[in-house]
Chain A
């Protein structure tokens, strides 16, 4: 979230799309309701009428996988009716930039496409720059090659009629939703978006969010209280686990994972430290070397020296372009190339798309380590449905760990609030905190390499691994301080003197010469000389906007709303004086921690542009960095119910990777699988249900997998509410209780009628015995070309009566 949960109350219009927040983030609705009480409106757009839709002022449906068409139509509406916030668009976005001559778009393809590689040459999409290297601009936004004019041209095709034909949303409903949301384009109003996996789990997932980001920039909603782009995180610390980079492509703090073509630290830093000609661009990533060197000092402690490149070459390097993300990981495991596997606090046998493939892959391992608080479908896969334990050679170690209340540490919520948790009791039996398991296991491995030697032992032996207390137990405070970072020598930085061993007060003090450590520069300022900032419980709220800046701590540097310098006009006055997030008092900013302390834009010498993380300093309407195009374009899901893409000849996203293995079957427009399928969650269960299916209260409330369908489809299939049915896809089947409701309705796509059903993915065979299986047995092995997040929200299924009953 650019903003945070309480800030929802400041919104004049909340679009909830790609999320059923009322069911999956229930307490968020407290603040949505406050917004309504303040006069704000709520729009719910969802294939199904959900609990969220029930509290909305306006609801309309769309077919799964057609969000870009819906949003593209809104962009067109905003531009055609000049609903955008012109001062904001001209001064804070790249609307005025001139795009280079090589950029083009025709019939679904951008320029530079190579069909063999299924990839674009993105260099063709760059901005035109002057002799100094600064982008050329047309502040009147009239140049036909300006971003705004190209945007207008691109979305001119997204007429309400065309959009309706794709989405199945009635034209009148489109107009109502567009008008309501576009009303936030005036400077005194703010609109926000709440989205979740309903937007990310698509082959156009990133572009769904890009489309909304374009809308938010046009309406001048980013940086404002009640505005922003708000991803609702589904796990209590998925923000933190992403920040700490348990992901193949990044290092902690969103630094890049190293690649083979960058053999030295100097080359690595040079590659990822952008150089920008415009002196008014803050270009925050110019600090990259300070963050990377401080990280390496946390990795390897005293053994990381200037002479050895701070141990840069000790960390593994990917081949250039190598992608080790989830779907590729399990593809490689299925091919027998992965021998050992840690599934730590995660249940891929139910959470992975195309779970049958995942389960088969587990059987090809030599050894599996499964760390969890409950038995689960991954650790026990060898005795699952249809498996013959005798034939499965995988050794399995099931390690019992501590639950959240049985250890101490911090988690960071969706609004980036990092909050400290205390230990309430010991874990049961032999169960141990995960931190202790890590410390002890790595200690064993270190000892083995010390004793026996082995391949490339340097990084193992040099890994700094002292996060323990006097008793040798894992010490969360010690690790939290390392995340913040230390001064490693007596130094003077920015006129302030620090002693070796002092905690670094904020990332502005980090150094690239090895005199500071910080395991994650974004967390620098979270545990300082003033103490554990994450444990704070003070509640002053001087702005009245609900920032609660002294409650816990948030990254970066306790800034509660990102890009907040876009919430003011050129003189530093809030666009809406009734919601003063920050304000320039002539000498300094008052309110939230500003996105940099430079004076407002009217001080043309000392200011910096507000979008400080973008190299040029402007919000990206034209986004040349993504793999599938600088503007979002509608493509059909890999599996879809229509014979062609009504928008262009390009049927599916041209840059997705097509997996062609025996278990990766996919069918489109196939009479055997004529119904759109989607997956979702229920309030009573969490993710695969592995923490909730073992709890009597919750399993009593929500005991069994179901398939939700319309009355029309049920009639067509002769299905009655409550009977057992079979839902099948090209990859698997799930037996479900039929839940026949009016919440799903058939979609009219031109002359075509299309049905959609939904199955929750929170069940699995381990428990309860009659609970049924995971909806991920149905979902396809295909991902977004930027993130590789699987397309679990739009695929094709069939639904049949189960002959002979359950």
Chain B
């Protein structure tokens, strides 16, 4: 039988987890209860969306299940329709669930560390971006190189450097290099070099 993913979800949802699991011949009570719980979430309140694994360069497909009320991801799993991974994932891809808001250790605030300080201070975006912009301008204007030793026009800045990132989307990689180059930076590098 050729079953598409959506049909599979519908079938497995209709017959329940018990039938499929009981054939293993062991007591799967707790697992079944958990599976039912997840399925109820998935079916009743979750939104499915596809993503591509953020780790290695294989590019495996993953389905995210988002709780439409709470707004957080409640489950992730390999995308069986994806031609490369056909639903399989490695240890990292399988753990994608723990990367988003489910992870209590995510950075949630803008942090600032003053010169010589031994601690972080929480700051607002408005403050931080304005302060960074001022520093960029000050350093750039102070160290801007209009001409090189031979008198050739070069219009560059060597006192500011940028690295990163291969973890960005293409639509972010392009503007990040564009803004750094518009500022005159030549030390523009990232993971591909190492």
Contact = CB atoms under 8 A, between A and B. Distances in A.
A438 B153 contact: no
Contacts of B89: 27
Contacts of A325: 189, 193
B59 A241 contact: no
B30 interface: no
B37 interface: no
Nearest to A432: B125
Interface string A434-472: 110111111011011100101110011011010100000
Contacts of B107: 372-375, 398, 400-401, 429, 431
A316 B185 contact: yes
A430 B159 CA distance: 30
B105 A426 contact: no
Contacts, number: 492
B164 A353 contact: no
Interface in A356-392: 366-367, 369, 371-375, 379, 382-383, 389-392
24 contacts: A30-B86, A246-B176, A247-B193, A338-B187, A340-B161, A342-B160, A346-B166, A383-B118, A395-B112, A396-B112, A396-B113, A397-B110, A400-B110, A404-B51, A404-B99, A412-B59, A424-B100, A428-B100, A435-B171, A441-B179, A445-B133, A537-B50, A698-B98, A788-B193
Contacts of B95: 692, 695, 697-698
A237 interface: yes
Contacts of A322: 186
A396 B94 CA distance: 34
B59 A413 contact: yes
Contact of B154 (A316, A400, A520, A701): A316
Nearest to A421: B51
Contacts of A440: 125, 129
A345 B159 contact: no
Given A234-B56, A316-B155, A410-B169, A341 B161 contact: yes
A246 B164 contact: yes
Given A342-B163, A455-B144, A390 B175 contact: no
A317 B194 contact: no
Interface centre among B128, B179, B191, by most chain A C-beta atoms within 10 angstroms, is B191
A237 B59 CA distance: 9
A498 interface: no
Given A441-B133, A520-B174, 12 more contacts: A27-B58, A246-B192, A316-B186, A333-B161, A340-B160, A393-B115, A395-B113, A409-B171, A419-B52, A424-B66, A483-B171, A788-B193
B38 interface: no
Q: Which 7 A-B pairs have the closest CB atoms?
A: A429-B108, A413-B59, A345-B165, A409-B169, A233-B57, A414-B57, A316-B156
A241 B86 contact: no
A398 B194 contact: no
A590 interface: no
A449 B183 CA distance: 11
A519 interface: yes
Nearest to B134: A448
A248 B188 contact: yes
Interface stretch (A581-589, A614-622, A682-690, A719-727): A682-690
Interface stretch (B11-19, B21-29, B77-85): B77-85
Interface residues of A, number: 168
Given A342-B162, A429-B106, A5 B84 contact: yes
Contact of B57 (A239, A400, A520): A239
Contact of A425 (B57, B100, B179): B100
Interface string B24-58: 00000000000000000000000101111111111
A28 interface: yes
B127 to A, nearest CB: 10
Interface of B: 47, 49-61, 64, 66, 71-73, 76, 81, 83-86, 88-96, 98-101, 103, 105-118, 120, 125, 128-137, 139-141, 143-144, 146, 148-150, 152-194
Contacts of B54: 236, 403-405, 411, 691
Nearest to A319: B148
A411 B185 contact: no
B56 A24 contact: yes
Contacts of B135: 340, 366-367, 395
B170 A245 contact: no
A787 interface: yes
Nearest to A697: B95
B191 A318 contact: no
A410 B188 contact: no
Contacts of B116: 389-393
B174 A252 contact: yes
B174 A390 contact: no
A448 B146 CA distance: 20
Given A417-B59, A424-B73, A441-B132, A409 B155 contact: no
Contact of B83 (A314, A403, A431, A548): A548
Contacts of A313: 153, 155
A508 to B, nearest CB: 21
Contacts of B109: 400, 429-430
Contacts of B141: 454-455
A237 B55 CA distance: 9
B49 A424 contact: yes
Contacts of A341: 160-163
Contact of A248 (B66, B88, B171, B186): B186
Contact of B133 (A236, A382, A398, A444): A444
Contacts of B186: 248, 257, 316, 318, 322, 324
A606 interface: no
Interface in A86-143: none
Contacts of A799: none
A438 B106 contact: no
Contact of B84 (A27, A324, A352, A463): A27
A338 B161 contact: yes
Contacts of A411: 52, 54, 59, 169-170
A345 B193 contact: no
Contacts of B81: 537, 539
Contacts of A247: 188-190, 192-193
Nearest to A24: B56
Nearest to A449: B137
Interface in A686-708: 686-687, 691-692, 694-698, 701
Nearest to B94: A697
Contacts of A5: 58-59, 84
A260 B152 contact: yes
B166 to A, nearest CB: 4
A299 interface: yes
A546 interface: yes
Given A317-B156, A438-B175, A237 B168 contact: yes
A337 interface: yes
A479 B175 contact: yes
A399 interface: yes
Contacts of A238: 57, 166, 191-192
Contact of B192 (A241, A366, A417, A520): A241
Contacts of A649: none
Nearest to A429: B108
B164 A787 contact: no
Given A241-B168, A324-B186, A483-B171, A236 B57 contact: yes
Nearest to A322: B186
A602 interface: no
B145 to A, nearest CB: 9
A414 B59 contact: yes
Given A421-B50, A426-B71, A463-B182, A237 B170 contact: yes
Contacts of B193: 247, 325-326, 787-789
Given A340-B139, A393-B116, A399 B161 contact: no
A407 interface: yes
B114 to A, nearest CB: 6
A408 B55 CA distance: 16
Given A236-B56, A329-B161, A393-B115, A398 B174 contact: no
